[in-house]
Amino acid sequence: MNAQQDLLQRLHMDVPLLFPVILICGIGLVVLYSAAGQDTDLIVRQGIRIAVALALMFLVAQIPPDQIARWSPWFYGLGVGMLALVLAVGDVGKGAQRWLDLGLFQIQPSEIMKIAVPMVVAWYLADKSLPPGLLRLIVASLLIIIPVVMIARQPNLGTAVLVGAAGVAVLFLSGVRWRVIAGVCLLTALCIPLIWYLMHDYQRVRVLNFLDPQQDPLGAGWNIIQSNIAVGSGGLYGKGWLNGTQSHLEFLPERSTDFVFAVYCEEFGFMGVSLLLSLYAFVIIRGLYIALHAQNTFGRLLAGGLILTFFVYIFVNMGMVTGQLPVVGIPLPLISFGGTSLVTLMVAFGILMAIHTHRRLLSD
Amino acid sequence: MERQLVFRDVSRESRVFKRRIVMAGAVMAILVLLIIARLIDLQLIKHVHFITLSHENRVKVLPIPPIRGLIYSRDGILLADNRPAFSLEIIPEQIDGMDGTIAELTKIININVVDTQRFYKLLQKQRRFDAVPLRFRLSDEEVARFSVNRHRFPGVEIAARLTRYYPLGPLTAHAVGYVGRIDENDLERVDVSNYSGTMHIGKLGVEKAYEDVLHGRVGYQQVEVNVRGRILRVLDRTPALPGKDLFISLDASLQTTATEALAGRRGAIVAIEPETGGVLALISSPAYDPNAFVNGIEPESFDTLRRSPGRPLFNRALQGNYPPGSTIKPFLALAALEYGVRDPDEQTWCPGWFKLKGSSLIYRDWKRGGHGNTNLPRAIIESCDVYFYSLANDLGIDRITAFLNRFGLGKKTGIDIMGEADGLIPSQDWKLKNWHLPWYPGETVINGIGQGFTLVTPVQLASATATLSARGRHMQPRLVMRIEDPITFSPAELPDATRSWVEIIEKNHWDPIISAMVDVVHGPTGTARTSGRDAPYRFAGKTGTSQLVSIDHDEENDGHELPEDLRDHSLFIGFAPADDPRIAVAVIVENGGSGSAAAAPIARKLFDHYLSGSGI
C-alpha cells in the first residue's frame, strides 16, 4: 500500500467509490454545458455545487458510524418536524410546497428524509435480533410511511417514492420474511385504485400519458415523445457533443434537469450510455461491497439501503427518459443540474465511506 | 431490558443479509438489462425512424414568393406596379399591456373597431413572436406620425409589403384587370406549391390571362426552427424566379384621350393596329378603380359598384352585345360585290321605304322622302337604308351569315384576355334551334341595316374594321406584344399573332367600299362630314345608329325626345390614314343618339391624337 493510498485512507476517503463518482460528475458538467446552451456561468455554478457537496461528503466521512447511529433518531425527528413546517408555511414552488426558507438559505426537508429514513430504520432494526418481529415491522413501516405521506402531500411524488424505496430497501435487507413481502405486495396491488383516487389530476395525466403518449402528442405526451426522439436519434455514436438538435432547438423539455439523460443519449449515443452505465455500475458494486463488509448491523443495513436507493434513482430517471416509467420529477444522480439532490447523494456517499473506512480502526 | 439479553445469531443475520444483497443485485441487474434493452431498441433498432423524426422536427421549408412581373404600356407607362404598402404590425411577445398600447396608438393613427376586432382574432391564432397586423394601408402621413412616436412603442413596427398598384386606376381597369387575394377557386386551377407564398393572383384582364408569365416561380428556404417555430438560421435557400414583365400594345395616352372624349358617357372604344392586331385602346365606360380590389374590397363599396346604374364592372368592350346598325353596311356591300349581287354603279331607287313582294309590311328609310336613285358608294356615304334592305334581300340570309362570319363578327375574336361575349350573326339554323321557327324574309331585310337579331361586341367590330382596312388581312387582336425577363432583359417566347385572310375573289372590290367610307367623313354629303372637316390626313369611317325601341325611323324622331335609356346607341367604325391604315377603331356610345353626333367625333379625336402623337 503506497503512501498516497494510505493518506486517503486516513482521510476516510474510499478511492474505488470516489473515483467513479468524480468521473460521473465530470461527465455531468460536460453534458450540462451542452444542454444548457453553452452557458459557462451555469457550469461554474454547478462546479461550485459539486465542490461544496464533495466537501460535505468529506466531512460526513469523518464521522464514526456509531455516532451516525446515535444521531439517527434526532436527525429523523428534525426532518419530520421540518416537513410538518413545510406543509404549514412552506413556500409554493412550481405549484408544490417543497422549500423551507430559513432566511439564510432554503432547504428541502424531503431531501433530508432520503437519508434520515434509511438511517432511522437501520438504527431501529439494528438494535434487536433480525429478522424483525411483526410489532417491530409495523413500527419500522410507520417510520417510513409517515414522512412518505407528508412528502406526497406537498405534493412531490418522485421524492416520496424515493424516500419510501430507501426505507423499504432497508427493511428488505434486514431479512423480512418472504410471506410478509408477498402480503405487502398484494396489499399494494389492492390499494392501487385508492391511490388513483387520491392522486392529483396532473399525476393521473402523467400516468395516462405514460401508458399512451400518442394520446395527446402536443400536450402532456409531448415530453415522452420528444424524449424518445432524442434518445433514438442518438444512435450508436450519437450526434456529437453540442450537436443534439432535439435539445438545442428546445424540443426537449427540462433538458438540463430531469431529462438531461436524453441529451446525453442524443449527443453521445449508445456508446456514451454504455460508459455512463458502467460507471454507475461500478459505484453500485462498490457500494454493495461496502455493505457486505460492514462490521455491524446498522452499518450494513444503512450502506445497503443507501446504495439500493441510489440505484432506484438511476433506474427511475432512465426509465422515465426512455419512456418505460411515468414522468416523475427525479433527477439523474450526479448529472442533473441542481444542488439539492447532489448534496443528498454526496452525504450518502460520505456515510458509505465512513462505514467502510472506520471499520479498520475499529478492528485494530 | 429483558429482550436485550436474547442471544443474537450474528452469523445467521450476516448470512441472510448476504443473500438479500445478492438477490437485490440480481434484481438490479435485470432492471438494468431492461433499460439496456430499451436503449438498444430506441438507439440501434429504431434509430432511422427517430433520426427522421428529429430531422422533421427541426427543419421547415418556407416558401419565398416571387416578385410579380410589371406591366407597361407601349408608350412605356407603368400600368401595374409593385409598391410597398405599409401596415402597422405588433409583435405580441414584446408588448406588455396590449389594450393600453392599442389605446395609445389610436391617438396617432386611425384605428377603428373593425381593425381591433380583426387584430384580436388574429392574435389568438398566431404565435407570440410573429408580427400581427393591426392596420393595413397606412397613409404616408400616418407612417410619418408613427415614425416620430416610434420610441414610445417597442414591439410595434411598420412593415412594408409589396402590393399591386395600378397607377392609372380606372383608366386601364378593363384591359389590364387586377389581382386579388387567392381564393379556393383559384387554388383549383394553379399549382398550389408554386403559390405557397403568394397572396395575390390575377383575377381579370391581362393580369389573369398572363398569370403564369407574371407570377414567376416560387423559391424556398430551408430553415432551422425551434419548438415554437421561431426561425434560428437559414440552412439552404433557393431564390424565387421573378415573374416576367409584360409590354402591352395599349397606348396609355390614347387611352386617356379616348376616356376624356367619352366624357363619362356609357360606352366602349376599341382601337386596333391593323398591321399587328395590337389593341391600342380598350375602354369600357364607366370604369372602376382596380386598386380597390387588390386587398379585398369592402362589401359596401362592392355593392355600390354592383348596383351602380352605369354598371362599371361590366366590360362593354368585350362583353357588350350591341346591334351594329349601319356600321354593318360596308361589309354587306362588299358581300354584294363578292357574290355578284350588285355592281358598284348599279342604281337602286330609294323612295324612302321598302316593301317585299307579296307583303304589305313597309320598311322605312331613316330619311323621309328617300335618297332617290342610289348607287353603292352613295348608299354607304349617305347610309341609305332602302338600298341595303334590297341588297340584303337579294343576298339572302345564308350568304350574309357566311360572309359576316368571315370577318369574325358573331364569334369570339380570340383576344388574349378572357371574358369575351359571342355576339350573334343569325342564321336559319340558329333561329330554328333557338326559336323553333323558320326564318322569315323580313328578318333578312332588317339585317341589311344591322338590326334584328344581329349583335356584335365592340372588339369584334374593331377587329372586323381593322381587317377591312387591311383589305382582308386579319390579325387576331391582342394586348400583349412583348414578354421580357426582368433580370436578363431577354424577350421570352410569345406566340406569333394569328394571321388569316378574308378571301375576296376580286381584289378591286375593296376599293369602292373604302373610298365610299372615306367620303363618309370627307365627302360633301357624308353622314360624318362634320367629323372629317379639316383633318390633316384622310380617314375612312361609317356611322351607325342602333335602334333600341321599335319605332319607325323618321328624321324628326332622332331619339332625343325619348328617355335617355331608350335612346339609340351611337356607333362609329373607322380607320386612319385611309390609304395606309395604322389605327382602326370601333366606338359605341350607349344612348348617344346618332352615330354622327356622338361616336364619330370621338373617333376623330382618337385619330388626331394617335397620328400626331406618333409623328405623322
pLDDT given at position A97? 54
In terms of domains, do A223 and A353 share one? Answer: yes
User: For residue A360, what pLDDT is reported?
Assistant: 58
Decide if B424 contacts B452 (C-beta within 8 A). no
* Per-residue pLDDT reduced to its tens digit, B324-363: 999 999 999 999 999 999 999 999 999 988 988 888 888 8
pLDDT given at position B158: 85
Nearest alpha carbon to residue A311 among B32, B33, B22: B32
Share of chain A above pLDDT 90, in %: 45
pLDDT of residue B6: 54
A210-236 average pLDDT score: 74
Looking at the structure, tell me whether residues A168 and A224 fall in a common domain: no
CATH superfamily of B253-300+316-613: DD-peptidase/beta-lactamase superfamily (3.40.710.10)
Q: Which residue has the higher pLDDT, A344 or A134?
A: A344
Chain B contacts of A249, Cβ < 8 Å? Answer: 57-58, 224-227, 232
- Among A140, A172, A199, the domain-final residue is A199
Tell me, yes or no, whether A179 and A74 share the same domain: yes
Q: Look at chain A and report how many structural domains it folds into.
A: 2
Per-domain residue ranges of chain B: 83-165, 253-300+316-613
> What local confidence, expressed as pLDDT, does residue B457 receive?
95
Same domain, A241 and A295: yes
Q: Three cell numbers at A244? A: 443534439
Contact B54 A273 (CB under 8 A): no
Q: Does residue A237 belong to any structural domain of this protein?
A: yes
Confidence at A102, pLDDT banded by 50, 70, 90? low
Q: Residue A363: inside a domain, yes or no? A: no
Closest alpha carbon to A256 in A323, A337, A343, A340: A337
Q: How near does any CA of chain A get to the CA of B195, in Å?
A: 29
Check CB contact under 8 Å for A228 and B42.
yes
Partner-chain residue, chosen from A128, A173, A232, that has the shortest CB–CB distance to B50? A232
| Residue A136: domain span | 70-199
Choice among A28-42, A214-228, A327-341 with the minimum mean pLDDT: A214-228
Residue written as cell 395590337?
A: B278
Written as nine digits, the cell of A319 is 426509465
What residues are paired with B575 via a beta bridge?
Answer: B540, B584
Q: State the pLDDT at residue B605.
A: 94
Residues A224 and A353 in one domain: yes
Q: Report yes or no on A235 lying in a domain.
A: yes
pLDDT of residue B246: 93
DSSP state, residue B426: -
Question: CA B57, CA A226: separation in Å to the nearest integer?
Answer: 9
Could you say which architecture CATH assigns to the domain B83-165? 2-Layer Sandwich (3.30)
A57 and A74 in a single domain? The answer is no
B105-120 confidence digits (pLDDT tens)? 888 888 888 888 888 8
Q: Is B326 an annotated catalytic residue?
A: yes
Of B9, B39, B232, the CB nearest to A273: B39
CA separation for the pair A287, A268 (Å, rounded): 27
Give the DSSP per-residue string, A167-211.
Answer: HHHHHHHTT--HHHHHHHHHHHHHHHHHHHHHS-HHHHHHHHHHH
Q: Is A48 a member of any domain?
A: yes
- Catalytic entry in B73, B326, B570, B596: B326
- Which residue has better confidence, B239 or A24? A24
Cβ pair A257, A341 in contact under 8 A: no
| H or E element, residue B558 | none
**Same structural domain, A282 and A319:** yes
**H-helix or E-strand containing B543?**
strand B540-546
For residue B241, list its beta bridge partners. Answer: B217
Q: How far is B490 from chain A (nearest CA, A)?
A: 45
Phi, psi of B356 (to 5 degrees): -75, 150
Instruction: Provide the phi-psi class of A278: left if phi over 0, else alpha when psi is between -120 and 50, else beta.
Output: alpha
Q: Residue B311: which region, alpha, beta or left (left: phi > 0; alpha: psi -120 to 50)?
A: left
A19 and A75 inside one domain:
no
At B554 the pLDDT is 43
User: Which of B43, B54, B232 minimises the CB distance to A269?
Assistant: B43
Chain B: closest CA distance from residue A236 (Å) = 6
Angle, CA of A207, A209 and A211, to the nearest 5°:
75
Element (H, E) at A49: helix A40-61
pLDDT for residue B335 = 93
pLDDT for B296: 76
Confirm or reject contact between A99 and chain B (CB < 8 A): no
Q: Select from A172, A199, A226 the last residue of a domain.
A: A199
pLDDT value at residue B93: 77
Q: Length of chain A in residues, anyone?
A: 364
List of chain A residues whose C-beta atoms are within 8 Å of the C-beta of residue B6: 128-129
Measure the N-to-C terminal CA separation of chain A; round to a whole number of Å.
Answer: 17
Which residue numbers in chain B have pLDDT < 70?
1-8, 125-129, 226-229, 496-499, 503-505, 549-562, 613-616
Establish if A9 belongs to a structural domain: no
Contacts of A272 in chain B (CB under 8 A): none
Distance of alpha carbon B170 from alpha carbon B174, whole angstroms? 8
* B228 touching A (Cβ < 8 Å): yes
